[in-house]
Amino acid sequence: MALNDLVQMREAKVKDADSRKGQIIDHLDDFRHLISFWRVYPDLFIDFLCSLNPHNTFHFFFYQRLFLRVAMRHQYVYATFVRAWSKSFMSVLCLMIKAILFPGAKLFVVSGGKFYN
């Protein structure tokens, strides 16, 4: 492959990137509305992501959707649930969604433990 071919490929990629950037800027308001919607309904965001894979079998139970919406809408959430409720999974999923939809957020999770003296 000649150097000229590589230069032409690079120029084509730059033009392609500029056209993609223009497309993103053209649809920026639509993206803002979509992100605002997903911030209120994070379970639908996960449903959208899962719909991109045709072989996906993941689904939420009703109580998981409810918890996810509550956790995303309120600053502080305290919950005590029974075994096999997927507490850890839902907590980490909520943090991951917040990290995606709220860039620059400072997030953490606290869990109780036994203290032996």
pTM above threshold 0.75: no
Q: Which segment of 33-42, 62-71, 79-88 scores lowest on mean pLDDT?
A: 79-88
The C-alpha torsion from 48 through 54 and 55 to 59, rounded to 10°, is 20
Q: Where does the pLDDT of residue 42 fall: very low under 50, low under 70, confident under 90, or very high at 90 and above?
A: very high
Instruction: Give the position of tokens 């894979």.
Output: 53
Which sign, positive or negative, has the C-alpha torsion 92, 96, 101, 107?
positive
Cα R_g (the chain), whole angstroms: 21
* Domain regions of the chain by residue span: 3-101
Instruction: Give the position of tokens 């072989």.
Output: 55
The Cα–Cα gap between 63 and 21 comes to: 40
Q: What is the pLDDT of residue 8?
A: 62
More confident residue, 70 or 110: 70
Q: What is the pLDDT of residue 69?
A: 92
| pLDDT of 18 higher than 60 | yes
